[in-house]
Structure 1
Amino acid sequence: MNKFTVKSGAGFAVKPRFPQLLAVSAAALLAGCSMIPKYERPAAPIADQWPATSGFTTASAQAQPAGANAPAVAAADIEWQAFFSDPKLRQLIEAALRNNRDLRIAVLNIEQARAQYGIRRADQFPTINAGITGSRQPNPNGNGSITSTYTAGLLMPSYELDFFGRVASLKEAALAQYLATEEGRKTAQISLIASVANTYLSLLADEELLTITQQTLATREESFKLSKLRFDNGVASELDFRQAESLTEAARASLAQLVRQRALDQNALTLLIGQPLTGDLAVALPVGKGLSDAPLMVDVPAGLPSDLLTRRPDIRQAEQQLLAANADIGAARAAFFPRISLTASAGSASSHLSGLFKSGSYGWTLAPQLILPLFDAGRNRASLDSANAGRDIAIAQYEKSIQTAFREVADALAGRDTLGEQLRAQQAQANAEATRFKLADLRYQNGVASYLDQLDAQRSLFAARQAVVQTRLAQLQSQVTLYKTLGGGWKEAPPEEALSLKASRQLSR
């Protein structure tokens, strides 16, 4: 058997020009059209300016900590290493970026989406395999003989000529999904950094509240001992004695509650970091410190609401998902048009296995196929309707992500505009309550005022000092939240730090 030529599905013989055929097929593929609808970014359903906080138009300057400076760059352009100045906090954040499991899952999602995009991209090119086949069948002449055919060579399975862009649309959808997962990783990093910083600040507040509570408990225990002594000697009534006892036990209850809260916050920090807080990380814990030792953070400009569209990774992620849904419509539209595929092979063929690789056994086959959908019980129409609905859902999700971002930034700006004045007023109240307690205690010791006046002053002072700590915590966490909501925290570290971080991740695996 010298050469063989197989007729195509259309019933005509083709000449042995397999390389030229591949070139023609590639040209036909590149000439294919696209059914993807033209993308237009939906209008942002938000106001052009941030809402003003009534009565506090100039209070934002009062809300900034001493030593903070206002840079001209946007929050998304400020690296977290520059935003947080506390070396212990930065050490904790670096550990979280290396070990946090949520961030690790986000990175692995990127790798999976990249692989899926590679699969869709490979669908645009023919697949070439090497294979050997053999077949034996009765001779159709009916003489009882057996016909044998053996082939060996290169095989091209069914390859779709993408005239109407169905395969290209699926590739574009996979690319958009891949880019969306990359933006999702940035969003996860922003949230992780902000969570570590806020938990660190909560631990500082826990330490300061513990100090205040321990001091208050010591004062109340001394007062309780004095009240008991006065009650035992008939100088004070049992009412005064029980009041002192009640306040002392209330302070003990507050102390137990704060110890528990500190343990909970430390557990939360352990989960965020992704490893036990031992060794160097144990040294980074804020033990014996307060919010007065909190790191100074750079003030960030709010910019315009429209900046969120390009600065927030979660918004860009939603837009990439919208682009993927838009590309799915192109694939669904292309399903209504004919689908042309090619199956080909080139190699040697023989009726005897021993002559498979002898000279003159070269041959090739080509089998083009055209499929035109005629009746599918509405399957293609339903697929297109589903793709259109998916795009509408993606538009709604995109618009909601913009509105959510606007609300988060507006809330953070409201906190920045008001928490500074609130902290100033509560600090002044705490100072007044401290003076009031000293005077009430002096008046009680001299018999001018009742013991109830002293207890009331002591209770008010404790509450005022706690309120100062809680407001200062809210102010600092509001700064972190504003940095986060403006898209800060995902900018990559300098090259040398990035290489060091990559090496640490490889070692941790």
Structure 2
Amino acid sequence: MSDTRNRYRAVALCLVLTALAFASSGCALLLHKDTDPKPMVGHERIRLAEDIRLARDSWPEAGWWLRFEDTQLSDLVVKALLDSPGMDVARARTEAAKAKIGAAVSNAGPLVGAMGMINRMRVSDAGFLGIYAEDIPLLGIHGPWYTTATVGLTGSWNLDIWGKDRAMIRATVGEANAQAAEQAQAELVLAGGVARLYFDIQALHSLLDLLEQIRAVEAEMTAASQERVKRGLEPRSTYEQARLRQLDLEEQVSNAQNDLRAFHEALRAIVGQPDLPPLERAGLPATQGRMPQTLGYELLARRPDLQAARWYVQASLDAVDAVKAAFYPSFNLLGFYGFDSMDATWLFNRGAQQIMFTPMVTLPIFDSGRLNAALREARTSSDMLIALYNEAVLNAVRDVALAGIRMQKIEAGLAIQEERLHSAAYLFESVNAYKKRGLADAVEAMAARLPLLAEQVRALELRRLHLMADIDLIQALGGGYRQEPPAPEK
């Protein structure tokens, strides 16, 4: 019997030493089948086209809407960032991601708990403990019924030798940073939406003023045409043409008024203010498109959507590391200190004291391909996120280029429009001068005013489009956001 026990002990010792040898050498009995991650877009591909000739000044600043010097707009943006339901959702997602960091850190630490158990049982006569089914008081056996009890402290700790838990913590931190960047992106989009609606409303107010002036002129011309028809000086068709122009103008005024109501409702919803008062009238501010000297690495740091995509990539790479660590041996420490007794009345006697310390090593040998399947899933998910990141970077460069080209086009149109306004004003003044000399009648003077008003409407629309393009360019450049992206994987 002693020789048999010694052989068993020798075999057990050999198994333990073998496991420790594998563990200390960092070997895995299961070989993981992994591939290299997809490459990411290099900084050299993040550049502006040479034919975009906007002023090369600097990047937008935080609080970019302040550049328009409109306190009403600034108040609306601040209210939206504080009260918008969309921002509440973004902030909740960020807080949830931060909470996951605490959960990941907690999972990596030691656990200590208290336990207590009481059990009423009858011992089987034919079982392994059959002797305790007897009632032998001299031996301290009072079977077959027993009331067993256990109470004490338990502890466990998974030693993170291969970095699995650390990789999971880094992955949750990466996801939290991505959510914070997405919150910044939501703020940027919200501020841009508020600014667009605000300037659309102001532009509609100015448009209605011009349409009212045109309507007054058309009404006078229609009345004059009607009087001429009565006198037989003009055919009725001339009056009907004037009437059609007047009705078309009425339709434009009605459409502008309905658009004004719709924009105000949209602004009320996006700001999160059910009782948003009517806005005070303000003109459209003058603005000029400005580009940074270069894009490159700065675009990655200044675009919150690119930061979010990059952090998601980093989190996915850390998740791959965590899956790889599962191929290696895991070390756990288990412990118990307390009291255990087959008779509850003896539970707290000195002889019932129990202390247990159990170091444990586990090593996967055969798992039907589960670990490699998990690794392939993690790697393909990471490669997909890298592909999405590369696409987002190239799209960001395209957004900046298109916004710059659109701004450049509108600025060229504004320069031409200034000339058109100058010509229309000269024509109107000339006809008025002829009228004062008696060389032109009132109808001709009114007709000469219409092209000037039409050019003013066109100029107003170009100024509105110029503001929209400026906001697009600000958003494409990140709107003043700046955070360092995570360091690339070595």
Name the SS for the 2:161 alignment partner: coil
Could you tell me how far apart the structure 1 residues matched to 2:66 and 2:73 are?
A: 12
Residue in 1 that maps onto 2:488: none
Residue in 1 that maps onto 2:263: 265
Could you tell me how far apart the structure 2 residues matched to 1:53 and 1:298 are?
A: 15
Letter in 2 for 1:145: P
Could you tell me how far apart the structure 2 residues matched to 1:276 and 1:300 are?
A: 37
Whether 1:130 aligns to 2:114 is: yes
Could you tell me how far apart the structure 1 residues matched to 2:272 and 2:477 are?
A: 26
Letter in 1 for 2:340: A
Letter in 1 for 2:329: P
Residue in 1 that maps onto 2:252: 254
Q: Is the 8 A contact 1:45 1:399 kept in 2?
A: no
The change in CA–CA distance for 1:32 and 1:385 in structure 2 (over 3 A counts) is: closer
Deviation for aligned residue 1:173: 1.1
Name the SS for the 2:111 alignment partner: coil
TM-score normalised over the length of structure 2: 0.80
Name the SS for the 2:108 alignment partner: coil
Residue in 1 that maps onto 2:83: 99
Could you tell me how far apart the structure 1 residues matched to 2:215 and 2:221 are?
A: 10
Whether 1:211 aligns to 2:196 is: no
List runs of 5+ in structure 1 lacking aligned partners.
Answer: 1-9, 13-27, 62-69, 493-509
Residue in 2 that maps onto 1:505: none
Letter in 2 for 1:270: R
Could you tell me how far apart the structure 2 residues matched to 1:222 and 1:459 are?
A: 12
Residue in 2 that maps onto 1:487: 478
Deviation for aligned residue 1:458: 6.3
Deviation for aligned residue 1:246: 0.8
The change in CA–CA distance for 1:453 and 1:221 in structure 2 (over 3 A counts) is: closer
Residue in 2 that maps onto 1:372: 363
> Which of 397, 400, 405 is equivalent to 1:409?
400
> Which of 103, 117, 120 is equivalent to 2:101?
117
Residue in 2 that maps onto 1:155: 154
Q: Is the 8 A contact 2:41 2:393 kept in 1?
A: no
Q: How do 1:456-495 residues align onto structure 2 when only pairs under 5 Å count? A: 460-490=451-481
Deviation for aligned residue 1:242: 0.9
TM-score normalised over the length of structure 1: 0.77
Q: Is the 8 A contact 1:408 1:485 kept in 2?
A: yes
Aligned length: 444
Q: Is the 8 A contact 1:412 1:478 kept in 2?
A: yes
Q: Is the 8 A contact 2:214 2:453 kept in 1?
A: yes
Could you tell me how far apart the structure 2 residues matched to 1:378 and 1:232 are?
A: 97
Q: Is the 8 A contact 1:120 1:174 kept in 2?
A: yes
Letter in 2 for 1:290: G
Q: Give the stretch that moved more between structures: 211-220 or 473-482.
A: 473-482
Residue in 1 that maps onto 2:50: 52
Letter in 2 for 1:115: A
Could you tell me how far apart the structure 1 residues matched to 2:62 and 2:321 are?
A: 39
Q: Is the 8 A contact 2:320 2:379 kept in 1?
A: yes
Residue in 1 that maps onto 2:18: none
Could you tell me how far apart the structure 1 residues matched to 2:249 and 2:432 are?
A: 18
Deviation for aligned residue 1:331: 1.9
Could you tell me how far apart the structure 1 residues matched to 2:237 and 2:432 are?
A: 17
Could you tell me how far apart the structure 1 residues matched to 2:481 and 2:302 are?
A: 10
Could you tell me how far apart the structure 2 residues matched to 1:138 and 1:295 are?
A: 92
Q: Give the stretch that moved more between structures: 357-366 or 408-417.
A: 357-366
- Deviation string, structure 1 residues 156-200 (Cα, Å, up to 9, x no partner): 25x433232222222221111011101111111111112211221
The change in CA–CA distance for 1:236 and 1:32 in structure 2 (over 3 A counts) is: farther
Deviation for aligned residue 1:146: 2.8
Name the SS for the 1:128 alignment partner: strand
Residue in 2 that maps onto 1:15: none
Could you tell me how far apart the structure 2 residues matched to 1:302 and 1:272 are?
A: 34
Letter in 2 for 1:111: E
Residue in 2 that maps onto 1:242: 240
Name the SS for the 1:184 alignment partner: helix
Letter in 1 for 2:312: Q
Q: Is the 8 A contact 2:43 2:296 kept in 1?
A: no
Q: Is the 8 A contact 1:339 1:370 kept in 2?
A: yes
- Deviation string, structure 1 residues 427-459 (Cα, Å, up to 9, x no partner): 32133234445667888998989x89986x666
Residue in 2 that maps onto 1:382: 373
How many percent of aligned residue pairs carry the same amino acid? Answer: 24
Residue in 1 that maps onto 2:74: 90
Deviation for aligned residue 1:32: 13
Letter in 1 for 2:76: L
Could you tell me how far apart the structure 2 residues matched to 1:49 and 1:490 are?
A: 19
Deviation for aligned residue 1:402: 1.0
Letter in 2 for 1:146: W
> Which of 41, 54, 74 is equivalent to 1:43?
41
Name the SS for the 2:366 alignment partner: coil
Name the SS for the 1:331 alignment partner: helix
> Which of 74, 77, 88 is equivalent to 2:59?
74
> Which of 314, 332, 338 is equivalent to 1:341?
332
Could you tell me how far apart the structure 2 residues matched to 1:148 and 1:491 are?
A: 67
